Amino acid sequence: MSDIVKSLEEALDSKHKFTQSVDLYINLKNIDMSNPANRIDEEILLPYGKGRKGKIGIFASGETAVKAKKICDMVIQPEDIEDLTKNKKEAKKTVDDIDFFLAEMPLMATVGKSLGKILGPKGKMPKPLPADTDLAPIAKRLQNSIRIRSRDKKTLNCTVGKEDMDPKKIAENIQAVMNRVESKLERGQMNVASSYVKTTMGPPIKIG
C-alpha cells in the first residue's frame, strides 16, 4: 500500500486549473485473451468512490418511474425506449452519458431487443430490478462503483479517484480494483505485468 501511495503522490504533483481524474492502468501477461473465459468484466465498489457520483439511468414505468426521478439521473419510460430506438445518435449519447443502467424486470426484454446493440458493446446492459425492490441502496452502490473490462486486450483501465482526494483513499480504491482483478486471473498476481496511475494531463507513474 505504501508503494501505491508514493506513486500517487508523484502523480498528483500538478498545477492544473481543473481537478484531474486519476486513472489506473493494469497490463496483463501470460494469458490468452482470445479465450472469453480469461476476459475481465467486473463491477467493483470503490471504498471511497471515484470523486464524483456515477450517473444512474433506469428503464421504468408507473410508480417506480416516479420514485426513480428522485434517485436516478435519468428515467427512461417505455415510450422513451421507442424514441431512442428511432434516433441512434441520441441513443448513443444517452448511453455514453450514463455509467450504469437498471431496468424493471418486465422491460428487460424490450430494452435488450431495442437497445442491446448499443448497450452491449459498452458493457452497459441494465441490471434487472425485481418488483418491490428498494432502489435507493442499489443506486447508491452503483454511484460509487466502476466497471473494468478487458475484452480481448491485455490492458485494463478505470478511474479510481480525483486528484483532490486523499492519496491514501485513492490507494485503497486501487487496492480494491487490483484485488478483484487478480482474483479473476488464472495465476493471480503472476498474470499482472505492470500497473500505473495517471492523471488526466500527467504522465503514467508505475506502481511499485
DSSP letters, 141-180, are: HHHTEEEEE-TT-SEEEEEEEETTS-HHHHHHHHHHHHHH
Domains along the chain with CATH numbers: 2-51+145-206 (3.30.190.20), 56-142 (3.40.50.790)
Prediction pTM value: 0.86
Task: State pLDDT tens for residues 88-138.
Answer: 899 999 999 999 999 999 999 999 999 999 999 999 999 999 988 999 999
C-beta neighbour count of 92 within 10 angstroms: 14
C-beta neighbour count of 197 within 10 angstroms: 25
Task: State pLDDT tens for residues 12-38.
Answer: 766 667 889 999 999 999 999 999 989
